[in-house]
Structure 1
Amino acid sequence: MHDLVVVGAGPYGLSIAAHAAAAGLDLRVFGRPMASWREHMPPGMFLKSEPWASNLSDPDGAFGLAAYAATLGREARHGDPLPVGLFASYGLWFAERAALTVDERIITSVEACPGGFRLTAEDGERFLARTVALAVGVMPFIDIPAPLLGLDRAQVTHSSHHADLTRFVGGDVTVIGAGQAALETAALLAEQGTSVRLVARSGRLNWNTLPPPLDRPAGTAARAPHTGLGCGWKNWLYAETPGVFRRFPEATRARIFTSALGPAGAWWLRERFETAARVEVRLGESVVTAAPAGGRVRLELFATTGRTETVETDHVIAATGFTPGLDRLGLLEGPLAEGLRTVGPSRAPEASAAFESSYPGLFLAGLLSAPSFGPSMRFVYGASYTAERLVAGVRRRVGARGGPLAKVRQRQGQREVRRQEQRGGRVSVK
């Protein structure tokens, strides 16, 4: 029986695994490493977060994004957006440097059993674990507006369904949303020659401003401190004190989770978007009905002015975000699915200060923990806070002491990395 099984191998899963391995825990990690970044984002996309706010977490802080960029002969500079492909490669490099072995099979179910949990992989093999960390990312939680749910995949998709947009060259696509995913998807489509319209409920588009230099006069920095979620004291509260956020009343947390850091485009995208002349922007409008129409899609749009208009399009891309909930997870069985305490009226599971759910030994990370710990858990920036506290909670749960054993295992892993490098090989991700 393993001490810990991590379900998911994105930034949160790999960060948790790095801390668990260094602590000497008997560890197993499942999932396709950095799958969301490698398989669900088209070429041409860039990180919205600053490079220094996009580090995965290891106990010594040795395997940051800047260290990886240096191996490529480039610099991860403040105010210089990096391609998402580079970030995905960074995650794989992080796993190698942290000496992590990742089993790429998908876990299809998690159920309670005496002494812990029983997990089933996609090929039917089962594994036992004393504790489980769910770091499943965002893909189980995609949001598609209700009027579009009756259409099939050939007619409507979510923005995260696309690693390649070239199928839409020469066609007509309607993008729903006003956030970074919607704006960047629309720009990429327009730049490749697709006729694009953007439909958004909001009355205007919001754009982040150019971030100020990291080195600023003390007075200026005090008025609007830099944080991993942007400048300002409110962002500082969300980014630097998730534990304080968790003490807010449930209703307050739920409200802030759904409203804070609302839809906005990155500062570096604005000029590209506004000069992409083929993007038709329709603000203050919502889709009220959608139906197939001779191989196309007919949308009825309702405006805040009371006007209704019908448009036809070849395809609809809903860039409408993600909402965590147990009903969407589809992974937990029996009491785990039915008995977890949730945050207020939401379907998101409540997490303790150690990121443990109400079922002992079942831990939560990433978007699943955001209604408990706040907006930072929607971003890579929250991985360090999560990994340190979650692994400490696992150690308390399994009675692990770490100490000398952890240091021995960490040194063994580092020696293996060096041996592989000396042979010209790579540490495998299985």
Structure 2
Amino acid sequence: MYDLLVVGAGPYGLSIASHAAAAGLDLHVLGRPMASWRDHMPPGMFLKSEPWASSLSDPGGRLRLETYCAGLGVGARHGEPVPVPVFASYGLWFARCAVPGVDERMAVRLGACAGGFEAVLDDGEVVRARTVALAVGVMPFVEMPDVLGGLGPERVSHSSRHGDLGRFRGRDVTVVGGGQAALETAALLAEQGTRTRVLARAERLSWNDLPPAWERPWWRSARAPHTGLGCGWRNWFYAERPGAFRALPEATRLRITADALGPAGAWWVRDRVEGTVEVMTGTTVTSARRSGAGVRLETVDRDGGTVRLETDHVIAATGFRARRERLGLLDDEVRAQLAALPDGSPWTGRDFESSVPGLFLAGLVTASAFGPAMRFVHGAGFTAGTLVRGVRRRLRAGSADARIPAPADARRRDSGLGLGTGP
């Protein structure tokens, strides 16, 4: 039985595994390294985060993105976006250097067993471990509007499902959403000859500005420091103090997680959209029906006016929502024992342990506890170090067979005098 099973081999899973290996834990890692970045993002996409804020985390800080890029003779400079394929290749290099022997089989079910947990793999083999770090990324949490449901993947798809947009050349595609995924997808579609429009509920699109120079007068830096989530002291708090963020009142954390760093396009996409892509702001889709081989959309604008559209395909760039019930990998018994926050995401202790002793969570699913940084690669460093320390504490306690607390117990520990303490 392993000390730790890491399920997922994206930026968070690989970072956790690197820290666990350095700590001497008997470790097993499941998953195809960087699969989402390799398989679900079309050619031509770039990282929105700055290169210096996009490194995976190893304990010595030697395997940074800029180190990898320097070895290739590729730039990784402030204010210059990094192509997604370069980032995916960097993740594979990181895995080879820091996490040798990644098992690329997939877990299909994770349940409890005597002394810990057992994962059933896609070939039927069972792997057991005393503790588990669930780092499954964003794909289980795809958010699709109900109005677009039931039309089938040939007519409606989520933006995260496309590793290649070539199938839409010469067709008519409507992209629903106003954030980076929607706008960059629309730009790529238009550039390949697809007739493209964007429908956004916001009254106007938001665009991030070109970041200020890295070297600035001290007083400018003091007023608005660079952070992994953008300039400013508020962003600095989100990026650099996730532990302190968790000490905020629950209602405050949930509000910030829902509203902070809202939908916006990167500065380098703006010129590729404006004047090129039809954009309909203040527009909500009220119905979607099959129409021949395509889709008929009915929309309403901010003034109550209605517009009917015919399109070949709808791409919903509508983000992700980390809800407990979407952790389908967990068997019913374990999932039912996960305490949840009011927004539906799992409760998470101070060291990323869930209310199920020995089951640790990482990535987007922890954003309501630790803040917006958990939605970005930048949050992997804090997560990896903190989570592995929690795993070591759990292993020393020898309590993988401890009582599973009821959800109310976990919620009480996250409020009042118990604020900020883990299970």
Report if the CA contact (8 A) 2:253-2:369 is conserved.
yes
Output the CA distance in 2 between the equivalents of 1:350 and 1:162.
31
SS in structure 2 at match of 1:212: coil
* CA-CA distance at 1:213 after TM superposition: 1.4
Is 1:357 the equivalent of 2:361? no
Deviations 1:162-189 (A, max 9, x none): 0100100000000000000000000000
Deviations 1:349-381 (A, max 9, x none): 111111100111000000011111000000000
> Does the 8 Å contact 2:17/2:99 carry over to 1?
no
Secondary structure of 1:399's counterpart equals helix
Normalised to the residue count of structure 1, the TM-score between the two structures is 0.91
Equivalent residue, structure 2, for 1:410? none
Cα pair 2:354 2:360 within 8 Å, conserved: yes
- 1:295 alignment partner AA: A
How many residues end up aligned between the 2 structures?
398
* Distance in 2 of aligned mates of 1:221 and 1:392: 33
Q: When the two structures are superposed, what TM-score results if normalisation uses the length of structure 2? A: 0.93
Q: Which of residues 306, 309, 326 is equivalent to 2:307?
A: 309
Q: Match of 1:36, as an amino acid?
A: S
Q: 2:289 aligns with which of 288, 291, 300?
A: 291
Q: How far 1:99 moved relative to its partner?
A: 4.2
- Secondary structure in structure 1 of the residue aligned to 2:108: strand
Runs (4 or more) in structure 1 with deviation over 2 Å come to none
Letter in 1 for 2:114: P
Specify the alignment match of 2:343 in structure 1.
Answer: 346
Q: Distance in 2 between the 1:70 and 1:208 partners?
A: 27
Residues 161-218 of structure 1 deviation map (CA, whole Å, 9 limit, x = unaligned)? 0010010000000000000000000000000000001000000010001111121111
The answer to whether residue 117 in structure 2 is matched with residue 117 in structure 1 is yes
Q: Which residue of 2 aligns with 1:280?
A: 278
Work out the CA distance in 2 between the residues paired with 1:251 and 1:108. Answer: 34
Residue 170 (structure 1) aligned with residue 170 (structure 2): yes
- Matched residues in 1 for 2:23 and 2:100: separation? 13
Aligned ranges 1:177-326 → 2 under 5 Å: 177-274=177-274, 277-326=275-324
Q: CA deviation at 1:304?
A: 1.4
Q: Distance in 1 between matches of 2:356 and 2:56?
A: 27
Residue by residue, what CA displacement relative to the aligned partner does 1:200-248 show, whole Å, maximum 9, x if unpaired?
0000010001111121111111110110000011111110111111112
* Partner in structure 2 of residue 336 of structure 1: 334
1:378: which partner in 2? Answer: 375
Q: Distance in 2 between matches of 1:263 and 1:238?
A: 17
- Which amino acid is 1:294 matched to? G
Q: Is the 8 A contact 1:173 1:314 kept in 2?
A: yes
Superposed displacement of residue 278, structure 1: 4.2
Q: Distance in 2 between matches of 1:45 and 1:74?
A: 16
Determine the C-alpha separation between the residues in 1 that align with 2:136 and 2:198.
30
| Residue aligning to 1:405 | none
Residue type of the alignment partner of 2:222: A
Residues 311-349 of structure 1 show CA distances to partners (whole Å, capped at 9, x for unaligned) of: 010000000100001111201114321121112x12211
User: Match of 1:149?
Assistant: 149
Residue correspondence of structure 1 range 18-37 to structure 2 within 5 A? 18-37=18-37
Q: Between the two proteins, what is the percent identity of the paired residues?
A: 63
Distance, in Å, in 1 between the alignment partners of 2:251 and 2:298 is 34
Aligned partner of residue 103 in structure 1, secondary structure: coil
| Structure 1 residue identity aligned to 2:98 | A
Partner SS, residue 130 of structure 2 = strand
Q: Which amino acid aligns with 2:363?
A: G
Structure 1 CA distance for aligned equivalents of residues 80 and 155 of structure 2: 36
Q: Secondary structure at the match of 2:14?
A: helix
Residues 6 and 29, structure 1, Cα contact 8 Å, conserved in 2: yes
Report if aligned partners of 1:18, 1:100 keep a CA contact under 8 Å in 2: no
* Cα distance, 1:303 vs structure 2: 1.0
Separation of aligned partners in 2, 1:338 and 1:76 = 44
| 3-state SS of paired residue (1:102) | coil
- CA, structure 1 residues 334+294, in 2 after alignment: closer, same or farther (shift >3 Å)? closer
| Mean Cα deviation higher: 93-102 or 192-201 | 93-102
Q: Deviations over 1:59-112 (max 9, x none)?
A: 000000011001101231001111000000000000111142111111111111
Q: Distance in 2 between matches of 1:334 and 1:294?
A: 40
Find the aligned partners of 1:159 and 1:173 in 2 and give their Cα distance.
Answer: 12
- Distance in 1, Cα, partners of 2:36 & 2:248: 31
Partner in structure 2 of residue 368 of structure 1: 365
User: Offset at 1:288?
Assistant: 0.8
Contact kept in structure 2, 1:350 and 1:358, CA below 8 Å = yes
Distance 1:385 1:14 in 2: 13
Structure 2 gap ranges (5+):
398-423
C-alpha contact (below 8 Å) 1:195/1:278 kept by paired residues: no
Determine if the alignment matches structure 1 residue 59 to structure 2 residue 59: yes
Q: Secondary structure at the match of 2:285?
A: strand
Could you tell me which residue of structure 1 aligns to residue 101 of structure 2? 101
User: How big is each residue's C-alpha offset from its partner over 1:10-61, in whole Å with a ceiling of 9 and x where there is no partner?
Assistant: 0000000000011110100011110110000000000100000000000000
Distance 1:53 1:250 in 2: 27
Q: Determine the C-alpha separation between the residues in 1 that align with 2:203 and 2:74.
A: 40
Give secondary structure in 2 for the equivalent of 1:45: coil
Q: Distance in 2 between matches of 1:75 and 1:332?
A: 41
Distance 1:176 1:335, change over 3 A: same
* Counterpart amino acid of residue 235 in structure 1: N
Distance in 1, matches of 2:327 and 2:337, equals 14
CA RMSD of aligned residues (A): 1.2
Check whether the contact 2:238–2:371 (CA below 8 A) recurs between aligned residues.
yes
SS at match of 2:33: coil
